[in-house]
Structure 1
Amino acid sequence: MKILLVNNEKDKTDLGSINALKNSVQQVAEADFVVKHYTGLSGEEVDELAVNFVILSGRHNSNWGIDEMYLFKSEYDIIRTCKVPLLGICAGFQLMGLAYGAALNYICPKRKDKCKEFGYQKVNLLGNDKIFSGLSSTLTVYQNHYCELKDVPDGFIKLAESDMTKIQCIKDTSRNVYGVQFHPELFNDKCNDGKVILKNFFSLT
């Protein structure tokens, strides 16, 4: 299995959560990795790489600067046209929404980054989906964000929510393209729902 990991950190030399992603994936699947910074991507290149899965990483600081938004054009194109299962995590999830014109803002616009969803928190599933196979209707997953999507992008459905963030997971209605606001790659022996989600994701065809 070959996986493309898209690094969404602003500085291309900053690997951010990439190593954590690799370590977590290796606990559920045997995989080879291709790591690309979001500024060095193209849809054609993704096809040429012949990857089986794509993961869009989170970002340590998701304060998107207006001056850098155009740099995500290639990533938006990949999100819209990807033919293999794709998972957007945290900032990667937010970029999925932006690619389809959804609104992104602080969880608490008046308090901005002083209002944050952090640590292992409960997330409620709104229905059945194969990515949540084997899990209860309430997940315990790791959160670290102060921005959120304010609406569900066209062509997607909402699969989960939390008390603080009303859009925690979305899925493309016609492709195996998912976005999660939480971090499934950050799991432990006590809170391992994220591990199950990753395992289910890599079972998609």
Structure 2
Amino acid sequence: MIAYIDIEHISLSRDNERWQARLGRVLKVKYRLEAISGLPCLIMRYEQVSPARLDELGIRAVLISGSATELPHYGPDELAGMTAMFHQVSRPTFGFCGGQQMMAHLLGARVAPINETESGTMATGGWQERTHELGFTAVKATGPHHLLSDLSPDLQMFEAHYWELKEIPAGFHNYASSAVSPIQFIAHETLPLFGTQFHPEAFDEAHPDGQKMLANFFQLL
């Protein structure tokens, strides 16, 4: 079994329309991950995660969602389990967009808006008036990596963000960049720990690169 960790902050549930839309997207990703991996996928809330719980459930790989809530809204207590998971890696782990940002943040790297002088948030919708990436976007592979096997160096990946990694966490390398955000795909030197600024899970028939990348990830199992 694999786990898909939903890191959306519970405060979003106060907006019922956005919350219901979120739940639908999470379920869609669950089915996609099951189809690609050939394994059942358990949806978990980030507050429920701990290394011991993942071991107890027999989780073979962890995938981490994006989020429509900025990192400063999360407190250290509610992220204690996620912090422990990232510091005690024992299975392939892959964070998408906000999942990568949370991973990098909890491992000590700086994460912030692309343009820190602009205003607007996810909650207000004003983030799209800031410097951002949205939609299928050209991403350039900058080096070989197993997760990029059989893919062109000129990738098309779905993006939806206005925050980004400002530095690469210690022990990681970056393997892809875009015109807006240079840190697009990080992988640890020795641990099966990966993150993308883009959303590989948001592929479609015309843009299958994300699906191929996920298939390469599941080959690690």
Q: Same fold (TM over 0.5)?
A: yes
List structure 1 segments (4+ residues) > 4 angstroms apart after TM superposition: none
The answer to which of 64-73 and 93-102 deviates more is 64-73
Aligned counterpart for 1:151 among listed residues 147, 156, 167 = 167
TM-score w.r.t. the length of structure 2 is 0.86
Structure 2 residue aligned with 1:44: 52
Q: Does 1:173 align with 2:189?
A: yes
CA positional deviation for 1:67 = 5.7
SS, match of residue 71 in structure 2: coil
CA positional deviation for 1:145 = 0.3
Task: Provide the C-alpha distance between the structure 2 equivalents of 1:80 and 1:160, rounded to a whole number of angstroms.
Answer: 24
8 Å contact kept, 1:3–1:52: yes
Q: What are the superposed Cα offsets for residues 86-117 of structure 1, whole Å, 9 maximum, x if unpaired?
A: 10011110011011110011011112432210
| Structure 1 residues 67 and 183, CA gap change in structure 2 (3 angstroms) | closer
8 Å contact kept, 1:76–1:95: no
Q: What are the superposed Cα offsets for residues 72-94 of structure 1, whole Å, 9 maximum, x if unpaired?
A: 12101101212111100111100
Structure 1 residue aligned with 2:3: 4
CA positional deviation for 1:16 = 6.5
1:7-156 to 2 correspondence within 5 Å? 7-11=6-10, 14=19, 15=23, 17-59=25-67, 61-66=68-73, 68-112=75-119, 113=127, 114-156=130-172
| Structure 1 residues 66 and 186, CA gap change in structure 2 (3 angstroms) | closer
SS, match of residue 182 in structure 2: coil
| Structure 1 residues 17 and 154, CA gap change in structure 2 (3 angstroms) | farther
Amino acid at match of 1:93: Q
Task: Provide the C-alpha distance between the structure 2 equivalents of 1:121 and 1:66, rounded to a whole number of angstroms.
Answer: 28
% identity of equivalent residues = 28
Amino acid at match of 2:106: A
Between structures 1 and 2, the one with greater helix share: 2
Amino acid at match of 1:90: C
Task: Provide the C-alpha distance between the structure 1 equivalents of 2:151 and 2:38, rounded to a whole number of angstroms.
Answer: 23
Cα RMSD (Å): 1.6
* Unpaired runs of at least 5, structure 2: 14-18, 120-126
